[in-house]
Chain A
Amino acid sequence: MTEPRSAADAVSFKRELTGVIPHLRAFARGLCGRPDLADDLVQETLLKAWAAQERFEPGTSMRAWTFVILRNAYLTDMRRNRFRAEYDETVAERILVAPAGQEGPLHLSDLHRALLTLPPERREALLLVGAGGFSYEEAAEICQCAVGTIKSRVGRARATLSAMIEQGAIPRRALGDAVAHDAIMEELEGSASSTEQAHS
């Protein structure tokens, strides 16, 4: 008898959640590089979102809400070292290679490798703003930090990528993962003790 939410809400929750799955896959792939692990992360996100659906406010952005869940799951998995040395270059090359007609010698797989060398907090900020089209304000909400922090992370990420591309310093294929992993672990160790996490 006690329906916590209207049937219409439940139906639209499922519809909206279904609708953001492609975006969750794109965000996850950008974060962790390997398509199969990215899809695992999306499945985990869907399970958590479903379990938490009472907390979703109808009318707000499903994409932003689920991205928060996905990034938290990713960071937890990352700390457990699940993504160590798992970046699969062959798969990435096949999936991410630029469509015919792309101008210039910079392939999307190069760009993705460069992206994976960024510390995770800068990478996710750049993905949200530069790829996902979120505003700084929305990205700040997703990352649970100040708008200024997001702006600074995006700026640093852009500067690093620009410098890598200008200097031709894109990591080679097999190298990308080791470099990325070192950067990620360094950042995680750093952030555990720093006060940069602005959610307190």
Chain B
Amino acid sequence: MARDKSMKNIGHERSRRSRQTSPEWASGLRRLYDSVVEEPLPDSFNQLLDRLDGADD
């Protein structure tokens, strides 16, 4: 298969197994998600909820 030189040339050793099993990059997806979940939470979010909560009283 022609490979565009402008594209990154990665992952060919992955190709053999990827059709049968869950692709290896699948754990990367979860890591992407989890890395954001584990980030420290900016104060602005709790401040927003506190403000909303206060406005209700």
Contacts and interface: CB of A to CB of B under 8 A. Distances in A.
A22 B41 contact: yes
User: Which of A104, A127, A171 has the largest count of B CB atoms less than 10 A from its CB?
Assistant: A104
A80 to B, nearest CB: 22
A170 B7 contact: yes
B52 A47 contact: yes
Contacts of A104: 11, 14, 24
* Size bracket, chain A contacts: 35 or more
Interface in B24-41: 24-26, 28-39, 41
A127 B33 contact: yes
Contact of A167 (B3, B24, B42): B3
A18 B25 CA distance: 30
By secondary structure, the A interface counts as: helix
Contacts of B19: 162
Interface stretch (A70-78, A82-90, A106-114, A145-153): A106-114
Interface in A97-137: 98-99, 104-106, 108, 110-112, 115, 126-127, 130-133
Interface of A: 10, 14, 17-18, 21-23, 25-27, 29-30, 39, 42-43, 46-47, 50, 95-96, 98-99, 104-106, 108, 110-112, 115, 126-127, 130-133, 158, 161-162, 165-172, 175
Interface of B: 1, 3-4, 6-12, 14-15, 18-19, 23-26, 28-39, 41-42, 44-46, 48-49, 52-53, 56
